[in-house]
Amino acid sequence: MALLVFVTILWAFSFSLIGEFLAGQVDSDFAVLTRVLLGALVFLPFTRWRGVPSGMKLGILATGMLQFGITYLCLYRSFSYLTVPEVLLFTIFTPLYVTLIDDALFRRFSPFALVAAGIATVGAGIIRYDGLSEDFITGFLLLQVANFTFAAGQVGYKHVMQHYPVGIPAFRTFGYFFFGALIIALPSFLVFGNVDRLPTTSLQWGILGWLGLAASGMGLFLWNRGACHVDAGTLAIMNNALVPAGLLVNLLIWNRDADLLRLVIGGGVIAFSLWINARFHPRARLVATA
């Protein structure tokens, strides 16, 4: 849980940095490719090539393709149609995808996890239901693809690691995650990338460096490790904790208008959903006592 909270704070800055300094200025495919390459460089020296089950390699590759490759290509494109607050609003459905995908993999139905995720979605909606731009449908659809693949990648990584308890430290195999993302990001840049919209300032390069090394390299690893130690309901809710955190950063640093009362009420609803899950979800109680 602590890892998820830490990464939430880390990622709270990403939405605003992308929206303020990269969206519409730097080619989105190049931005994603840069983040993938930097993240891969972080783990390349630690990657174990031998002694790792083939199924484990392929599973982690697949989660990287989903959670980073497809997710971030869609996320970056959505900023061309949506404002930062709108992007945050349309990410509120990720918790529902997390619980539904987890249940589908186990062929079960967890009503309390789904109810808790639904309450969290309501809380996030209270925070950010606002006027929408004309292109909101395109942006919304892009973000729903991103939300689904991000959820599938989180749940998928957790299931892969549970299926292959081979005793290999997680950081020795996480490089395959970024190699999987590269399978998506590199062809996308080669086909759709615009070389006339590469970064032109040291600030833009610096932001890409921070996003690649910290938000992606360290952040995605710690988030997925945290996901392995909580139940699906808690993981779903923590996905929506990014909404108040991201809005708070956007408000305090870039002075964007925000309804503080709704922020407090919505944040309280999200916190209540976390309590509901911990109190009534049987697997949440097992995790808490492990």
Question: Burial, 252: exposed, middle or buried (Cβ in 10 Å; 0-12, 13-18, 19+)?
Answer: exposed
What is the per-residue pLDDT for 93?
78
Mean pLDDT for back-to-back runs of 10 residues, the chain (290 residues): 86 85 91 96 94 94 96 91 78 80 78 76 71 73 92 93 87 96 96 93 95 94 91 79 78 67 78 74 45
What is the per-residue pLDDT for 289?
33
What is the per-residue pLDDT for 12?
85
What is the per-residue pLDDT for 36?
96
What is the per-residue pLDDT for 127?
67
What is the per-residue pLDDT for 114?
73
What is the pTM for the complete model shown? 0.83
What is the per-residue pLDDT for 119?
83
> Domain residues of the chain, as ranges?
2-289
Report the alpha-carbon distance of residue 67 to residue 245 in Å, rounded.
21
User: What crossing angle do the helices spanning 2-17 and 232-240 adopt, rounded to 10°?
Assistant: 30
